[in-house]
Structure 1
Protein backbone atom coordinates (compact mmCIF):
# COMPACT_ATOMS: atom_id res chain seq x y z
CA UNK A 1 0.00 0.00 0.00
CA UNK A 2 2.82 2.36 0.90
CA UNK A 3 4.60 2.07 -2.45
CA UNK A 4 1.38 2.18 -4.46
CA UNK A 5 0.07 5.25 -2.63
CA UNK A 6 3.31 7.18 -3.01
CA UNK A 7 3.60 6.18 -6.68
CA UNK A 8 0.08 7.38 -7.47
CA UNK A 9 0.73 10.61 -5.57
CA UNK A 10 3.98 11.16 -7.46
CA UNK A 11 2.17 10.62 -10.76
CA UNK A 12 -0.51 13.11 -9.67
CA UNK A 13 2.23 15.62 -8.84
CA UNK A 14 3.66 15.31 -12.35
CA UNK A 15 0.21 15.81 -13.87
CA UNK A 16 -0.39 18.81 -11.59
CA UNK A 17 2.92 20.36 -12.61
CA UNK A 18 2.14 20.00 -16.31
CA UNK A 19 -1.39 21.36 -15.82
CA UNK A 20 -0.04 24.30 -13.81
CA UNK A 21 2.34 25.16 -16.63
CA UNK A 22 -0.61 24.98 -19.02
CA UNK A 23 -2.58 27.38 -16.83
CA UNK A 24 0.30 29.84 -16.78
CA UNK A 25 0.30 29.87 -20.58
CA UNK A 26 -3.50 29.97 -20.96
CA UNK A 27 -5.23 31.30 -17.81
CA UNK A 28 -8.83 31.19 -19.10
CA UNK A 29 -9.92 28.25 -16.91
CA UNK A 30 -7.68 28.98 -13.96
CA UNK A 31 -10.45 29.10 -11.31
CA UNK A 32 -11.82 25.74 -12.38
CA UNK A 33 -8.39 24.15 -12.38
CA UNK A 34 -7.52 25.68 -9.02
CA UNK A 35 -10.68 24.23 -7.52
CA UNK A 36 -9.82 20.85 -9.03
CA UNK A 37 -6.26 21.07 -7.67
CA UNK A 38 -7.43 22.12 -4.21
CA UNK A 39 -9.86 19.21 -3.99
CA UNK A 40 -7.45 16.55 -5.19
CA UNK A 41 -4.55 17.97 -3.17
CA UNK A 42 -6.53 17.28 -0.02
CA UNK A 43 -7.39 13.78 -1.25
CA UNK A 44 -3.75 12.98 -1.92
CA UNK A 45 -2.63 14.43 1.42
CA UNK A 46 -4.99 11.94 3.03
CA UNK A 47 -3.65 9.09 0.90
CA UNK A 48 -0.01 9.87 1.72
CA UNK A 49 -0.78 10.37 5.41
CA UNK A 50 -2.68 7.08 5.66
CA UNK A 51 0.05 5.18 3.81
CA UNK A 52 2.72 6.68 6.06
CA UNK A 53 0.73 5.80 9.15
CA UNK A 54 0.12 2.24 7.99
CA UNK A 55 3.76 1.70 7.09
CA UNK A 56 4.82 3.26 10.39
CA UNK A 57 2.57 0.89 12.32
CA UNK A 58 4.01 -2.13 10.52
CA UNK A 59 7.52 -0.78 11.06
CA UNK A 60 6.86 -0.30 14.75
CA UNK A 61 5.69 -3.91 15.05
CA UNK A 62 8.88 -4.96 13.27
CA UNK A 63 10.94 -2.89 15.68
CA UNK A 64 9.23 -3.81 18.95
CA UNK A 65 7.28 -6.96 18.11
CA UNK A 66 3.87 -7.83 19.54
CA UNK A 67 3.87 -10.28 22.42
CA UNK A 68 0.08 -10.59 22.48
CA UNK A 69 -0.02 -12.37 19.13
CA UNK A 70 3.44 -13.92 19.31
CA UNK A 71 5.23 -11.70 16.78
CA UNK A 72 8.88 -11.20 17.66
CA UNK A 73 11.12 -8.29 16.80
CA UNK A 74 12.72 -8.52 13.37
CA UNK A 75 14.83 -5.37 13.28
CA UNK A 76 17.58 -7.03 15.30
CA UNK A 77 17.85 -9.63 12.50
CA UNK A 78 17.16 -7.41 9.46
CA UNK A 79 18.93 -4.26 10.59
CA UNK A 80 19.65 -2.83 7.13
CA UNK A 81 16.06 -3.36 5.96
CA UNK A 82 14.72 -1.59 9.06
CA UNK A 83 17.04 1.38 8.50
CA UNK A 84 15.82 1.68 4.90
CA UNK A 85 12.24 1.44 6.06
CA UNK A 86 12.78 4.14 8.67
CA UNK A 87 14.40 6.40 6.07
CA UNK A 88 11.51 5.93 3.65
CA UNK A 89 9.02 6.68 6.43
CA UNK A 90 10.88 9.88 7.33
CA UNK A 91 10.91 11.00 3.70
CA UNK A 92 7.23 10.14 3.35
CA UNK A 93 6.39 12.18 6.43
CA UNK A 94 8.35 15.09 4.97
CA UNK A 95 6.43 14.69 1.69
CA UNK A 96 3.13 14.69 3.57
CA UNK A 97 4.07 17.94 5.30
CA UNK A 98 5.02 19.48 1.95
CA UNK A 99 1.71 18.36 0.46
CA UNK A 100 -0.16 20.01 3.33
CA UNK A 101 1.72 23.26 2.69
CA UNK A 102 1.07 23.06 -1.06
CA UNK A 103 -2.59 22.36 -0.40
CA UNK A 104 -2.79 25.43 1.81
CA UNK A 105 -1.14 27.56 -0.88
CA UNK A 106 -3.51 26.18 -3.52
CA UNK A 107 -6.55 26.91 -1.39
CA UNK A 108 -5.34 30.41 -0.56
CA UNK A 109 -4.69 31.14 -4.24
CA UNK A 110 -8.19 29.96 -5.10
CA UNK A 111 -9.61 32.16 -2.35
CA UNK A 112 -7.76 35.21 -3.71
CA UNK A 113 -9.01 34.54 -7.27
CA UNK A 114 -12.62 34.11 -6.16
CA UNK A 115 -12.48 37.20 -3.95
CA UNK A 116 -11.25 39.43 -6.81
Structure 2
Protein backbone atom coordinates (compact mmCIF):
# COMPACT_ATOMS: atom_id res chain seq x y z
CA UNK A 1 0.00 0.00 0.00
CA UNK A 2 2.83 2.38 0.78
CA UNK A 3 4.14 2.19 -2.76
CA UNK A 4 0.79 2.64 -4.50
CA UNK A 5 1.17 5.84 -6.45
CA UNK A 6 0.03 6.69 -9.96
CA UNK A 7 -0.11 9.82 -12.10
CA UNK A 8 -2.32 9.77 -15.16
CA UNK A 9 -0.48 10.55 -18.41
CA UNK A 10 -2.81 13.36 -19.45
CA UNK A 11 -2.83 16.66 -17.59
CA UNK A 12 -3.81 20.26 -18.03
CA UNK A 13 -1.59 23.26 -17.45
CA UNK A 14 -2.30 23.64 -13.71
CA UNK A 15 -4.03 20.37 -12.85
CA UNK A 16 -2.73 16.82 -12.90
CA UNK A 17 -4.60 13.64 -11.92
CA UNK A 18 -2.77 11.51 -9.40
CA UNK A 19 -3.62 8.88 -6.82
CA UNK A 20 -1.48 7.93 -3.86
CA UNK A 21 -2.05 6.19 -0.57
CA UNK A 22 -1.44 9.42 1.34
CA UNK A 23 -4.36 11.11 -0.43
CA UNK A 24 -6.76 9.10 1.73
CA UNK A 25 -6.56 9.10 5.55
CA UNK A 26 -7.84 5.51 5.64
CA UNK A 27 -4.90 4.32 3.58
CA UNK A 28 -2.53 6.32 5.80
CA UNK A 29 -4.08 4.54 8.79
CA UNK A 30 -3.60 1.26 6.93
CA UNK A 31 0.12 1.84 6.37
CA UNK A 32 0.77 3.00 9.95
CA UNK A 33 -1.28 0.26 11.61
CA UNK A 34 0.19 -2.51 9.48
CA UNK A 35 3.63 -1.14 10.32
CA UNK A 36 2.77 -1.45 14.01
CA UNK A 37 1.52 -5.01 13.50
CA UNK A 38 4.68 -5.90 11.57
CA UNK A 39 6.87 -4.40 14.28
CA UNK A 40 4.98 -6.43 16.86
CA UNK A 41 5.66 -9.62 14.91
CA UNK A 42 9.38 -8.85 14.89
CA UNK A 43 9.44 -7.87 18.56
CA UNK A 44 7.48 -10.95 19.67
CA UNK A 45 10.22 -13.31 18.47
CA UNK A 46 12.08 -13.33 21.83
CA UNK A 47 8.89 -14.27 23.69
CA UNK A 48 8.26 -17.05 21.18
CA UNK A 49 11.78 -18.36 21.68
CA UNK A 50 11.31 -18.30 25.46
CA UNK A 51 8.10 -20.32 25.15
CA UNK A 52 9.94 -22.94 23.08
CA UNK A 53 12.90 -23.13 25.49
CA UNK A 54 10.71 -23.14 28.61
CA UNK A 55 7.48 -24.90 27.66
CA UNK A 56 6.07 -24.73 31.20
CA UNK A 57 6.41 -20.94 31.58
CA UNK A 58 2.93 -19.45 31.64
CA UNK A 59 3.69 -15.71 31.65
CA UNK A 60 5.32 -15.47 28.20
CA UNK A 61 2.53 -17.53 26.65
CA UNK A 62 -0.10 -15.33 28.25
CA UNK A 63 1.68 -12.16 27.09
CA UNK A 64 1.85 -13.54 23.54
CA UNK A 65 -1.84 -14.46 23.62
CA UNK A 66 -2.87 -10.99 24.79
CA UNK A 67 -0.72 -9.17 22.26
CA UNK A 68 -1.76 -11.51 19.44
CA UNK A 69 -5.35 -10.63 20.25
CA UNK A 70 -4.57 -6.89 20.21
CA UNK A 71 -2.70 -7.26 16.91
CA UNK A 72 -5.66 -9.20 15.49
CA UNK A 73 -8.05 -6.42 16.49
CA UNK A 74 -5.84 -3.74 14.94
CA UNK A 75 -5.27 -5.79 11.80
CA UNK A 76 -8.99 -6.52 11.37
CA UNK A 77 -10.02 -2.91 11.84
CA UNK A 78 -7.47 -1.57 9.38
CA UNK A 79 -8.27 -4.25 6.79
CA UNK A 80 -12.00 -3.56 7.02
CA UNK A 81 -11.55 0.20 6.74
CA UNK A 82 -9.27 -0.12 3.74
CA UNK A 83 -11.61 -2.68 2.14
CA UNK A 84 -14.44 -0.15 2.28
CA UNK A 85 -12.34 2.46 0.47
CA UNK A 86 -11.14 -0.06 -2.12
CA UNK A 87 -14.77 -1.06 -2.72
CA UNK A 88 -15.68 2.58 -3.30
CA UNK A 89 -12.73 2.93 -5.65
CA UNK A 90 -13.91 -0.02 -7.71
CA UNK A 91 -17.67 0.59 -7.65
CA UNK A 92 -18.25 4.17 -6.51
CA UNK A 93 -21.47 5.24 -4.84
CA UNK A 94 -24.20 6.69 -7.03
CA UNK A 95 -26.22 7.96 -4.04
CA UNK A 96 -23.32 10.17 -2.91
CA UNK A 97 -22.19 10.99 -6.48
CA UNK A 98 -18.83 9.31 -5.90
CA UNK A 99 -17.41 8.00 -9.12
CA UNK A 100 -15.43 4.79 -9.42
CA UNK A 101 -11.82 5.83 -9.98
CA UNK A 102 -10.40 2.41 -10.80
CA UNK A 103 -11.30 2.69 -14.48
CA UNK A 104 -8.89 5.63 -14.77
CA UNK A 105 -6.10 4.41 -12.49
CA UNK A 106 -4.84 1.05 -13.70
CA UNK A 107 -1.96 0.49 -11.26
CA UNK A 108 -3.21 2.16 -8.08
CA UNK A 109 -6.29 0.00 -7.57
CA UNK A 110 -4.67 -3.42 -8.04
CA UNK A 111 -1.87 -2.48 -5.64
CA UNK A 112 -4.27 -1.25 -2.97
CA UNK A 113 -6.55 -4.26 -3.49
CA UNK A 114 -3.59 -6.60 -3.10
CA UNK A 115 -2.59 -4.90 0.13
CA UNK A 116 -6.11 -5.32 1.52
CA UNK A 117 -6.20 -8.99 0.55
CA UNK A 118 -2.83 -9.52 2.27
CA UNK A 119 -4.17 -7.83 5.38
CA UNK A 120 -7.08 -10.27 5.46
CA UNK A 121 -4.64 -13.18 5.01
CA UNK A 122 -2.77 -11.79 8.02
CA UNK A 123 -6.07 -11.79 9.95
CA UNK A 124 -6.46 -15.51 9.27
CA UNK A 125 -2.86 -16.15 10.33
CA UNK A 126 -3.42 -14.23 13.58
CA UNK A 127 -6.55 -16.28 14.31
CA UNK A 128 -4.50 -19.46 13.86
CA UNK A 129 -1.74 -18.07 16.11
CA UNK A 130 -4.28 -17.19 18.80
CA UNK A 131 -5.79 -20.66 18.66
CA UNK A 132 -2.34 -22.26 18.90
CA UNK A 133 -1.36 -19.96 21.78
CA UNK A 134 -4.56 -20.72 23.66
CA UNK A 135 -4.03 -24.44 23.12
CA UNK A 136 -0.43 -24.22 24.34
CA UNK A 137 -1.55 -22.24 27.39
CA UNK A 138 -4.23 -24.80 28.17
CA UNK A 139 -1.71 -27.67 28.14
CA UNK A 140 0.44 -26.04 30.85
CA distance in 2, matches of 1:33, 1:21: 10
User: What is aligned with 1:105?
Assistant: 132
Question: What number of residue pairs does the alignment pair up?
Answer: 112
User: More helix by proportion, 1 or 2?
Assistant: 1
Structure 1 window deviating more from structure 2 (53-62 vs 27-36): it is: 27-36
Structure 2 spans left out of the alignment, 5+ residues: 1-28
Question: Do the aligned residues in 1 keep the contact of 2:64 with 2:133 (CA within 8 Å)?
Answer: yes
State the SS of the aligned residue for 1:53: helix
2:80 aligned with 1:58: no
Q: Which has the higher strand share?
A: 2
- TM-score (structure 1 length as normaliser): 0.89
The answer to whether the aligner puts 1:21 opposite 2:49 as a matched pair is: yes
TM-score w.r.t. structure 2 length?
A: 0.74
Q: Which has the higher contact order (CA 8 A, sep 6+)?
A: 1
CA-CA distance at 1:30 after TM superposition: 2.3
**What's the Cα RMSD here?**
1.6
